[in-house]
Amino acid sequence: MTITNSSLRLVALVTGVAVALALMGAVAIAPAQAAGLTQTQIQSITSLLASFGADAATIANVTAALNGQATPGTGGSGTGGACPALSRSLQMGSDGADVKALQVFLNGSATTQVASAGAGSPGNESTYFGGLTKAAVVKFQSANGVSAIGIVGPATRAAIAAVCGGTGTGTGTGTGTGTGTGTGTTGGAITVSAGAQPVNSLAVVSASRVPFTTFTLTNNSGAAVTVNSVTVQRTGLGVDANFSGIVLLDQNGLQVGTSKTLNSNHQVNIGDTFTIGAGQSMTFTVAGNIQTDAGGADAGQVVSLQVVAINTSATVSGSLPITGASHTINTTLTLGSVSTTTSSFDPGAAQSKNIGDVDVRVSGLRFTAGSAEDLKLYSVRWRQVGTASASDIANVVSVVNGVSYPTTLSSDGKYYTTIFPGGLLIVKGNSIDLYNKVDLIGSNSASRTVDLDIDKVTDVYFVGQTYGYGVAPSGTATPWFTGYVTTINAGTVTTIGKANEVQAQNIATNISNQPLGGFATDFKGEAVSVTSLPITIATSSGFTGAGVITSISIVDQNGVVVAGPVDEAATCTTGCTVTFTDTITFPVGRHVYTIKGKINSSVTNNSTVVVTTVPSSWSGVTGQTSGNTITISTGTFDMNTMTVKAAALTVVMSTSPSSQNIVAGVQDVILGRVQLNASQSGEDVRMSSIILTQTGTIGNLSSCRLFNGSTQLNSGGNVPSLAASGSDTTFSFDNTLVIPKGTVVSLDIKCNVAAGSTGTHIWSVSGSAITATGETSGVNIAVTETASSGGTMTLASGSLTLSVDSSSPSYTPVAAGTTGVVMGVIKLRPTNEALTLNKLGLTLTTSGAANSNGAGGSTNSGTSDLLQVYLYSSAGSLIGTATFTGGTATTTATSTLSTPLALAKDVDTLITVKADLAKIGTSFPGGIGDSVKIDPLNAETSGQSSGTTISAATASGNVAGVRLFKSYPTLALDTLDSTGVADGRLMRFKVTANAANPVSIFHFEFKVSTTTGVTVTTIGLYAYSDSSYSSSISGQGTSGQIGSSTDAHINGNQFVIEPASTPVVVPAGQTRYFELRGTVTGADTGDSIVTTFLGDAAYPTGSAEIPTGFNVSTSSVATSSALGNDNFVWSGQSTTSSSYNDPDWSNGFGLPGFPSGGLIKSRGI
pTM of the model: 0.49
Q: Is the omega angle on the peptide bond into residue 321 within 30 degrees of 0, that is, cis?
A: yes
Looking up residue 855, the CATH number of its domain turns out to be 2.60.40
Model pLDDT, residue 1040: 92
> Dmax over Cα atoms in the chain, in whole Å?
147
| Per-residue pLDDT tens over the stretch 463-520 | 999 888 888 888 878 888 988 999 887 666 667 999 999 999 999 888 899 999 999 9
User: Which tops the pLDDT comparison, 1079 or 494?
Assistant: 1079
What proportion of the chain, given as a percentage, has pLDDT over 90? 50
DSSP string for 728-776? EEEEEEEEEEEE-TT-EEEEEEEEEE-TT--EEEEEEE------EEETT
Position 79 scores a pLDDT of: 42
Q: Does the N-terminal peptide bond of residue 969 adopt cis geometry, omega within 30 degrees of 0?
A: no
d(CA 7, CA 316): 12
Task: Read off the pLDDT band of 51 (50, 70, 90).
Answer: low
**Of residues 306, 307, 299, 293, the one with CA closest to residue 328:** 299
State which of 81-90, 157-166, 249-258, 707-716 shows the largest mean pLDDT. Answer: 707-716
| Whole-angstrom Cα Rg for the chain | 52
Do both 989 and 940 map to the same domain?
A: no
**What whole-number distance in Å separates Cα of residue 985 and Cα of residue 1022?**
11
Residue 369 forms part of a structural domain: yes
User: pLDDT tens-digit profile of 681-708?
Assistant: 889 999 999 999 999 999 999 999 999 9
Question: Quick one: 43 and 160 in the same domain?
Answer: no
| Count of beta carbons in the 10 Å neighbourhood of residue 1121 | 12
The whole-number pLDDT of residue 790 equals 93
Same domain? 974 vs 1106 = yes
Instruction: For residue 117, give the 3-state DSSP assignment.
Output: coil
Question: Is 453 inside any structural domain?
Answer: yes
b/e burial code for range 230-241 (CB count within 10 A of at least 16 → b): bbbbbbbebbbe
- List, for residues 451-471, the tens digit of each pLDDT value: 999 988 888 999 999 888 888
Residue 346 covered by a domain: yes
The mean per-residue pLDDT over the stretch 4-17 comes to 34
Q: E strand or H helix at 796, and its extent? A: strand 793-796
| 383 falls within a domain | yes
Residue 63: the pLDDT is 61
pLDDT over 90 at 1050, yes or no: no
Question: Are 209 and 271 members of one domain?
Answer: yes
Tell me: do 922 and 806 sit in the same domain: yes
Lowest mean pLDDT among 55-64, 223-232, 893-902: 55-64
pLDDT for the residue numbered 627: 77
Residue 216 domain-assigned (yes or no): yes
Residue 158 is predicted with a pLDDT of 81
Question: What is the pLDDT averaged over residues 819-829?
Answer: 97
Higher pLDDT, 1132 or 887: 1132
Q: How confident is the model at residue 637 (pLDDT cuts 50, 70, 90)?
A: very high
* In a shared domain, residues 1050 and 954: no
Could you tell me if 471 and 432 lie in one domain? yes
The model's confidence at residue 563, banded by pLDDT at 50, 70 and 90, is: very high
Number of structural domains in the chain = 8
Is pLDDT larger for residue 3 or for residue 842?
A: 842
Least confident of 296-310, 651-665, 839-853: 839-853
Residue 59's pLDDT is 63
Band of residue 147 on the pLDDT scale cut at 50, 70, 90:
confident
For the ranges 152-156, 647-651, 668-672, which has the lowest average pLDDT?
152-156
Q: HEC profile for 321-388? A: CEECCCEEEECCCCCCCEEEEECCCCCCCCEEEECCCCCEEEEEEEEEECCCCCEEEEEEEEEECCCC
924, 950, 965: which is the final residue of a domain?
Answer: 965
Crossing angle (nearest 10°) for helices 39-51 and 56-66: 160
- CA distance linking residue 451 with residue 262, whole number of Å: 30
Please say if the pLDDT value at position 270 is more than 90. Answer: yes
- DSSP, collapsed to helix, strand or coil, labels residue 65 as helix
Give the model's pLDDT for residue 837.
Answer: 95
Instruction: Kindly state whether residue 689 falls inside one of the protein's structural domains.
Output: yes
Q: According to the model, what pLDDT value does residue 60 have?
A: 59
pLDDT (tens digit per residue) in 97-110 = 888 889 988 988 88
pLDDT above 50: residue 10: no
- Mean pLDDT throughout 1122-1137? 75
879 has pLDDT over 90: yes
664 and 711 inside one domain: yes
Going by pLDDT thresholds of 50, 70 and 90, the confidence category of residue 442 is low
Out of 489, 522, 553, pick the residue that ends a domain: 489
Mean pLDDT of 928-944: 91
User: How many of the other CB atoms lie within 10 Å of CB of 815?
Assistant: 21
**Local confidence band at 1 (pLDDT 50, 70, 90 cut-offs):** very low
Mean pLDDT calculated for residue range 130-150: 85
Whether 525 is covered by a domain: the verdict is yes
Band (pLDDT 50/70/90 cuts) for residue 116 is confident
pLDDT of residue 862: 67
Cα–Cα distance measured from residue 302 to residue 108, given in angstroms and rounded to the nearest whole number: 38
| Confidence band, pLDDT 50/70/90 cuts, at residue 858 | low
CB 29 within 8 A of CB 65: yes
- pLDDT mean over 153-181: 55
Number of Cβ within a 10 Å radius of residue 29: 23
The CA distance from 909 to 902, in Å, is: 9
Q: Tell whether the model's pLDDT for residue 1117 goes beyond 60.
A: no
Looking at the predicted structure, is the pLDDT value of residue 958 above 50?
Answer: yes
Mean pLDDT, to the nearest integer, of 1099-1123?
45
Last residue of a domain, one of 793, 825, 857: 793
pLDDT at 49: 56
Of the pLDDT bands very low, low, confident and very high (cuts 50, 70, 90), residue 819 is very high
Q: Tell whether 937 and 806 lie within a shared domain.
A: yes
Question: Is 637 or 253 the better-scoring residue by pLDDT?
Answer: 637
Residue bearing the bigger pLDDT, 7 or 630 = 630
Tell me, yes or no, whether 899 and 950 share the same domain: yes
Q: Is residue 407 part of a domain?
A: yes
Across the chain, mean pLDDT equals 84
Please report the pLDDT score of residue 520 as a whole number. 95
Sign of the dihedral defined by the CA atoms of residues 620, 622, 627, 629, in that order:
negative
Average pLDDT value for residue range 204-208: 90
**pLDDT at residue number 1060:** 81
Q: Is 69 helix (H, G, I), strand (E, B) or coil?
A: coil
Tell me the pairing of strands 470-471 and 460-464. antiparallel
Which CA distances in Å does 2 have to 275, 316, 323, 1011, 1133? 16, 7, 18, 121, 112
- 950 plus 1077 within the same structural domain: no
**Which residues form the domain of 95?**
85-166
Residue 603 pLDDT > 50, yes or no?
Answer: yes
Judgement on whether residues 268 and 344 belong to the same structural domain of the protein: no
Amino acid type, 430 = N
Determine the Cα–Cα distance for residues 823 and 252; give it in Å rounded to an integer.
79
Asked whether the predicted pLDDT for residue 815 surpasses 60, the reply is yes
Q: Where are the alpha helices (DSSP H) in 201-255?
A: none
